[in-house]
Structure 1
């Protein structure tokens, strides 16, 4: 195998530096889980979410399966766990049904933590000893996969805690957002023409971020910041959830069937929202989050605008540094922000829905083997989000990163930024 099957550049750390990165990110997952009781780690609040214990085990299984398992002489000490903690890799074997992950009271949390420690030692030792050219690439993919599950761990436990009448706080002692007024909303124009999008250069990228290619961008504009809670409240007060002409057909059916009338986690009075720090007053200046693609699209239509395309988002964000209210801040909640750049809050706070369906770029080829199931097979019925959220690690996102979810999903920190044709 070559050293770059996943788009990893030759500048990727190797040896001791890669082992340190691997162990640091693995420890970070344990730090996030350490706030939880053993009972907390088992609960599964809906089929789309997974228990914390399952996240801890599945990310470990990933390293065991795709790195240690490459050695024909390797024998797993718990081969029966392969069935429990495989997620969706059909080519490597069957798996436990996703909606029933909360039934897995065994293995215990202590056994899963011991499993993590054993695999961590094995992977770190393998990195230091050195392997074939593919090893750094596979370790980095596993690390990036781990960071995706760090975000899922936070959003999944938030959903679980919100179902509890006691509404426990995940991080009651977390730093509070300072009161800041959102800058006035304005639109930044861009010209029409041929542009290039997709990843190029050094560093890791997922296969769905490439290949870099040229495409045509119509002239238009994009908002300088995400839509705020106050602006979304105006949509609600104006009957947005009661006006069928604002909604896509499937969106209106979902609103009716699910009885949606506000973002997930807002109370009926539209005064408070459930957060990872407990129930808090809604900050009118903070970006609205926990809305679906259907809601984002309806709001944009109500506002006389539209959602941006992912090409518009990426070309306007290109070159901006990755900084903002990301997981590293420890706030775990979107917050209002002042900014010096023309385009603000590009990274962090909330993932931003775009109007672009999740499809392949021209020339895309999935990876060979089981890892080809990582991204490519989900290019159906999902929509692209950009930018990262308050639960996303800062060193995990970039302008070309393509997140994707089905249009009804709203338990993620998902919001929107407006686009326009003028």
Structure 2
């Protein structure tokens, strides 16, 4: 039987239970609302009953078997935590109880925490109306709640939809002059749940209490707020509902395209999944039901104080204990007999601080035998034996960023409860592309076994649940996938890179911009679209000896330009390009050429996997080089596009809600101490610093694979691949003197005050290119973004993007200077400092398409969480010159050798537009001419004369 969307015929109302209560008091109904009976149900999409395997009887049987299997348990005890901890060993268990808890209307207050004013109503219902008003070509947006339950959490969000623009609330008048709501609402709300009767009851009550004067309850108009929101139910499991939505089940039947989808997961059920399971579920859900730009609003419990968690789950009134023990009554109904005797079990729980989870158990009060109907063998339970009932995970900010990164989701915004900050709501989306962090996957326990401290391991790399002990503990998980950082990239990584490149070149550059030069010192935009595939083909053919796919394209697209700023007649060697627009190849021809180039690359991978082609380190290095070259040029193209008013926002990403973000940023800055904290000095002793790594491409001929494989991890291991550009090698030691550095980079607000104090507002040489005039004496500048210019009220805390000269002048005005190469490397290596790294939560890898305020290092759950600089490269005062041991690349001779001229200064770190593979590699050295104003680069002020000698700061552990 196929799933059907039904509008049921009138049926007798469900009998109300003694504890059933309305969402809000009846007095809250809109004045003058028509009296509408409850004979009709909300339209239901019935998926659960459509399959025999999902019938209530089949589900009951599966639940019964799961309970029996859990009671039989395993042969070995599981230690929930550290196998060497005597405290954890006391909680060892080998039985668990898969149980579907009976719903209780007397749930304790903390189980309804998302229905209060602190979060549910925060910021006008978490911008529930943002982006949901639709347009004439797009149908209504869909708001789908997973596990809707009582709707007490959701009501605040739904009420916020009253703030939709009036134009979206279409009404008509009938012949009698009475307003009738439109049949096409702005938003369709879908409550998904397994309990059909609860769906009918709660949606009916929601309609009765929230309907407007023009809303009726019939099979065509089950709406509230005068037609703005239509109410619907989906009777289904999560998987059924996600698959149905993903296959277009909610698409309008006629004409319009389906509107935006936003899923809600507001309950606490995500806490029942460990962090790896949660990441896997979110990833699978995203792949199944979200399109690029679709979103998910999810509520998360933080890792709060152990005593607070313990009190919530083991309250003085015994409410939690009764709730858990009620599960035994339900289990007896499922098993068909009183298998669990009243009084033979007690509730036993603890908060496992190490794992960040609450654990609930049944503990046997005596030795007993369980006789399950239909089972030949009895189950013998010892006195004091534990049966695990459920776990509820709590997440630190670091951990939830790790989870979301593994799931391939991008954080749009987060809201926290006021004051205590115990709970968070995360608005995340499936982006058009996602670069996973290559820094996540080492695992803190593995690092500690290698001799690092807990603080070094936890603060610098992955969170607890993303590692593998290999022991018998509850966390003996399969080692997570490690993303290639410095070796041959995988096919998946290639495909992600092309998605990113296409987003920038095909969605942000309109046709009229193809022949535009956003920066006079560079080529037209079309050149870069052709340069990328041409460079790939040229470099690979140089190693393989094969012919170029298109020699003409190789000629005109081989290399871009970088003129000397003090004499533009002097320039690096570059391609001779067409001088007239009509002489350039057509965009379609370039894209077709790109496809042929990539077929060649993918063919190499396929031949290596089958053994038809050998792979040596020279070819692997070249493929890595052309891959990373795309990432570097994508950032170059973006800072060019930032200078043009014709640039479009990136498709497949949610535009920022600037006013809301600005409020959050200002509040967060004030909470940590404001400018005093940002300009606080971090002191460093004189110390040696290791720069670079050992990677001699002249040794590549010695390494070739001996065993074919389609796994790049295997190939990189055989090749001992640890690639970098020529100016990253060899490893060498540089010495710093004692110095002090400001905790955060120079901000837009600080620089604006500097211009005003020094009467430089009208000096074109002093005004950064990242700003644009606003035409107001009180607010003279706005800051450029890919979404258009934003006011200083939004961007004043962002790190300033400016030329090295402008930043050096600012530093000098404070009696300071820019750091040297060695000093900045020393600063960035400090494990407790505001690192620019590739770990989730840092503003790199297109986490945002703009800078954000820097985040200072802080403590959370006793662990130092590294900060970040807001998403900019950082200038140094050190010139980019040849050094002892430098050798130019065998394969790309001019990469850095053409620029070792003393006219370029070194920049380190990464920006918001830098991929994680570059951001996480501490050996990377970038360079620009000091007056060059366009890069996503900032700086921090350092001092000599304010330095106090203090203990050395801890260094980051070596990267795995």
TM-score under structure 1 length normalisation: 0.82
Aligned partners of 2:880 and 2:825: how far apart in 1? 14
Q: CA contact under 8 A between 1:169 and 1:277: conserved in structure 2?
A: yes
Contact map agreement 1:287 1:415 (CA 8 A) in 2 = no
Query: Is the contact between residue 350 and residue 387 of structure 1 (CA under 8 Å) also seen in structure 2?
Result: yes
Moved more, 101-110 or 387-396: 101-110
Q: Is the 8 A contact 2:838 2:844 kept in 1?
A: no
Contact map agreement 2:504 2:650 (CA 8 A) in 1: no
| 1:152-197 CA distance string (max 9 Å, x none) | 1211112233xx5xx8656795234623134522111110133322
Which residue does 2:825 correspond to in 1? 314
Q: Give secondary structure in 1 for the equivalent of 2:933.
A: coil
Once the two structures are superposed, the pairs formed by residues 8-407 of structure 1 within 5 Å of their partners are: 18-35=490-507, 36-76=509-549, 78-87=550-559, 95-96=575-576, 103=581, 106-130=584-608, 131-133=614-616, 134-161=618-645, 173-176=654-657, 178-179=661-662, 180-181=665-666, 182=669, 183=674, 184=677, 185-199=679-693, 203-239=722-758, 241=760, 259-264=764-769, 265-267=771-773, 269=776, 270-282=780-792, 283-318=794-829, 320=835, 321-323=837-839, 324-329=842-847, 331-341=848-858, 346=868, 349-368=871-890, 371-380=892-901, 381-397=903-919, 398-407=921-930
- Indicate if the aligned counterparts of 1:54 and 1:101 stay in contact, CA closer than 8 A: no
What are the superposed Cα offsets for residues 72-123 of structure 1, whole Å, 9 maximum, x if unpaired? 45253x312222101169xxx97215xx778476211111111111101111
Structure 1 residues 413 and 29: alpha-carbon distance in aligned structure 2, compared to 1, 3 A threshold: same
Kept in 2: contact 1:347–1:388 (CA 8 A): no
SS at match of 1:266: strand
Q: CA RMSD in A?
A: 2.9
Q: Note closer, same or farther for the CA distance 1:173–1:346 as it changes in structure 2 (3 Å cut).
A: closer
Distance 1:104 1:195 in 2: 53
Contact 1:333–1:390 (CA under 8 A) maintained in structure 2: yes
Aligned length: 385
Q: CA deviation at 1:145?
A: 0.5
Q: 1:366 to 1:32 in 2, by over 3 A?
A: same
**Residues in 2 aligned to 1:18 and 1:66: alpha-carbon distance in whole angstroms:** 18
Aligned-pair CA distance for 1:129: 1.0
Q: Give the Cα separation in 2 of the matches to 1:102 and 1:347.
A: 43
Matched position secondary structure for 1:189 = strand
* 2:889 aligned counterpart, secondary structure: coil
Instruction: Give the CA deviation at 1:25.
Output: 1.4
* Alpha-carbon distance, 1:43 to partner: 1.5
Deviations 1:15-46 (A, max 9, x none): xx633322331232112223132222332133
- Following superposition, the deviation at residue 216 of structure 1 comes to 1.6
C-alpha distance in 2 between matches for 1:104 and 1:173: 36
How far did 1:67 drift?
0.5
Tell me, which stretches of 5 or more residues in structure 2 are unaligned? 1-483, 562-572, 609-613, 696-720, 859-863, 948-960
Q: If each structure's helix is expressed as a fraction of its own residues, which one has the higher value?
A: 1
Structure 1 counterpart of 2:152: none
Which of 1 and 2 has higher RCO (CA within 8 Å, sep 6+)? 1
**Tell me, what secondary structure is at the counterpart of 1:215?**
strand
In the alignment, the residues of structure 2 paired with residue 94 and residue 305 of structure 1 have an alpha-carbon distance, to the nearest angstrom, of 38
Contact 1:170 1:278 in 2 (8 A): no
Higher alpha-carbon deviation: 105-114 or 297-306? 105-114
Q: Can you give the 5+ residue segments of structure 1 that lack an aligned partner in the other structure?
A: 1-9, 243-254
What's the offset of the Cα at 1:349?
Answer: 1.8
CA distance in 1, matches of 2:603, 2:627: 16
